Structure 1
């Protein structure tokens, strides 16, 4: 690959920059109260921030693969952060956004295509798989920094609640991604170390692994256990249940409110 082609393959996409711009403008609107509809502003801010985090998730996979020997990620445009370049844009972007809107769940997306034959070491395969959810962890730490560094009292309540809900999405996505289930990144971390026979037997489960996990979350006991773990992590980061709950309530502004968050955020 020539130097000019390589530069083009790593140039940040205007599509991604546009999404970042939407996130910045709507974040400013939430912070200042400029928008006539706080709920709509929170919805646009959280959704655009969520898409940005999905792009960073996939970029982390691709960038780690690049440094592990798979130069093909440049040709496919994965390093441009363009969500339209993903192998499964429907799984990587559309479905996670749909599930976010419908249920407020940080559902992990699909994956970029990595030419695994170019990767020499097992630990590199594991690191490539781990890089994506680690990007969600980093995003969660950034979202919650005002909470655990102090000074959150100076942050306007709507923006504070939006950060709390966004942090919940990042933490839940990281946990789901790290599950050792075929088709998820957690399985990709341990797969290189499994016997060949075990890998062959589990391979057919990869296309339905995410659906199985999502189905399990519909079981009340499993759902309660999972989100209890998510809340424990958020609490350790300084985010209360009320903050993440009100963030979700503001995000789903089209639903009838139970009145709890109107007391905290008048009007």
Structure 2
């Protein structure tokens, strides 16, 4: 278990990136569903970039704090899921796929934004010792992590929502039935095979850093 000082500092640099990650992820789903004709998220007040409307007290606040203070290698957590009614979509399969992908796309946008901030911060003289450097670093890493994690084809994650649209109806129903066990499958991956998530996450971090032009000495 890390020291209290180390945990508090880590919490301070991860709090903003984590909040941006879960907010943009859920907002991505909400805006995509609304664009494709479903007003459910708007009626629920979720068509917003305000983090307060997406926060889940346990998943967004308590669970990440527990993960940090107990030294869990992944910052686990979640926001309130956005409810959608796909019967309002004009093209069911296409719109379901794009709405599912909009969440991870939101995380990619935040990762790129953090990379630009880090690039200009380093140019202005910010170093690895500074809070801003570490916050933007985690902004890139956490959002790439959330993007990859949510693209796993494990119900009820977004990746499963995409795969489901390409399956025959009976097979899709059987696939969805795995959802109640999804949490335990994900915990097994985190504990026993974290490389499944970590390797593509680090690849995406390096790709974002390269495309944005963050100085290599910054990582």
Q: Calculate the TM-score normalised by the size of structure 1.
A: 0.64
SS in 2 for 1:79: coil
CA distance in 2, matches of 1:223, 1:77: 35
Match of 2:151 among 150, 174, 178: 178
- In 1, are the aligned partners of 2:64 and 2:77 still within 8 Å (CA)? no
CA distance in 2, matches of 1:168, 1:194: 32
What residue in structure 1 maps to residue 170 of structure 2?
197
Alpha-carbon spacing, 1:90–1:82, altered in 2? closer, same or farther (3 Å)? same
Number of aligned positions between the proteins: 205
- In 1, are the aligned partners of 2:32 and 2:98 still within 8 Å (CA)? yes
Pair 1:231 & 2:202 matched: yes
Question: Stretches of 4+ moved more than 3 A in 1?
Answer: 37-42, 80-86, 146-153, 238-244
Larger CA Rg, structure 1 vs 2: 1
- In 2, are the aligned partners of 1:96 and 1:107 still within 8 Å (CA)? yes
Pair 1:97 & 2:90 matched: no
Unpaired stretches in structure 2, ≥5 consecutive residues = none
What residue in structure 2 maps to residue 127 of structure 1?
98
RMSD of aligned C-alpha atoms?
3.3
Pair 1:163 & 2:133 matched: no
Unpaired stretches in structure 1, ≥5 consecutive residues = 1-36, 245-267
Deviates more, 1:43-52 or 1:146-155: 146-155
Alpha-carbon spacing, 1:210–1:174, altered in 2? closer, same or farther (3 Å)? farther
SS in 1 for 2:194: helix
